[in-house]
Amino acid sequence: MKKFSLVQLVLIISALLACSPAFADSLAPFKGEKGVLKISGGTAHIPVMKEAAQKIMIMNPEIQISIAGGGSGVGIKQVGEGLVDIGNSGRKATDEEISRYQLKLYQWAIDGVAPVVNPQNKVKELTKSQMIDIFSGKVDNWKMLGGEDRNINIYTRDEASGTRAVFWKKGLDKGPITPGAHVVVSNGAMKSAIAQDPYGIGYVSVGHIDETVAPVALDGVVPTIQTVQEGTYKVARGLYSNTKGEPTGLTKKFIDFLYTPDGKKIIEKRGFIPAQ
């Protein structure tokens, strides 16, 4: 009897799961296909992109899918310039971007953007006014908010980030973000920074919240998948995959997969709300 290594067994089991009846219909369009698909852009999208890509590539090794981050602005620019096939964004492309790059937009999920602090921080509720004052630098000590007598360390994203754009517009009412804020490159980097800083505050996609960070209630509403879905938590956005012109071939099939029942299961599993 042939013996298999642990790695081989994992790959075999993964392949069987990927090709199980539960996913057979959704993956059927990829049979007989071959080629390379390049995706970049918003970092909130990456867990969904990776899981979808993995299932497709296990079922059909003739397909190669590469996934990179960079932020929403990068995704829009790279797909517009023909460097990638799909450019992801956590904001809707502007009319100018759509016109310049001849973009087609596909919104496949809704996501919230939540302020987060270190779990050790006892300040876990703010008003929008307080949050605006924190990020502008007007309020700079946790003691002013009922916390410890410690300076507030602010973390933000760069200006290419769709997460930042939505938080700035809907969470901060387009108020200033202090130049002294620490800039991080992704949702994952933001979580790591806050998890290591008891006096830090930042913001992440609701779908990325786990035990390493604590969500901050805003005007009495805790940011969760349920409150985003109900519309009671207002700092929310669409997650988009953008293409240059009408998608064809592998690009179209990948986007179509996100709207199948199995694609929606992945979206829900990763903490987002599938678009209807």
| Predicted local confidence at residue 21, as pLDDT | 52
Instruction: Looking at the structure, tell me whether residues 36 and 116 fall in a common domain.
Output: no
Pick from 96, 81, 64: nearest CA to 250: 64
In a domain, 1, yes or no: no
In a domain, 134, yes or no: yes
In a domain, 38, yes or no: yes
| Predicted local confidence at residue 25, as pLDDT | 86
CA distance 102 to 126: 41
Confidence bin at 23 (pLDDT 50/70/90): low
Instruction: Looking at the structure, tell me whether residues 128 and 179 fall in a common domain.
Output: yes
Q: Residue 120 sits in which domain range? A: 112-236
pLDDT tens digits for range 230-269: 999 999 999 999 999 999 999 999 999 999 999 999 999 9
Instruction: Looking at the structure, tell me whether residues 95 and 118 fall in a common domain.
Output: no
CA distance 268 to 272: 5
List C-alpha distances in Å: 1 to 4, 5, 13.
10, 13, 18
For residues 110-122, average pLDDT: 96
Instruction: Looking at the structure, tell me whether residues 101 and 125 fall in a common domain.
Output: no
Comparing 14-28, 53-67, 108-122, the range with the smallest average pLDDT is: 14-28
Question: CATH number for the domain including 67?
Answer: 3.40.190.10
Instruction: Looking at the structure, tell me whether residues 226 and 120 fall in a common domain.
Output: yes
| Predicted local confidence at residue 160, as pLDDT | 86
Instruction: Looking at the structure, tell me whether residues 141 and 203 fall in a common domain.
Output: yes
For residues 178-202, average pLDDT: 97
Instruction: Looking at the structure, tell me whether residues 31 and 140 fall in a common domain.
Output: no
pLDDT tens digits for range 129-164: 999 999 999 999 999 999 999 999 999 999 889 999
CA distance 110 to 207: 10
In a domain, 10, yes or no: yes
In a domain, 89, yes or no: yes
pTM score? 0.78
| Predicted local confidence at residue 8, as pLDDT | 53
When divided into structural domains, the chain yields a total of 2
Pick from 171, 130, 135, 132: nearest CA to 155: 135
pLDDT tens digits for range 71-86: 999 999 999 999 999 9
Instruction: Looking at the structure, tell me whether residues 128 and 221 fall in a common domain.
Output: yes
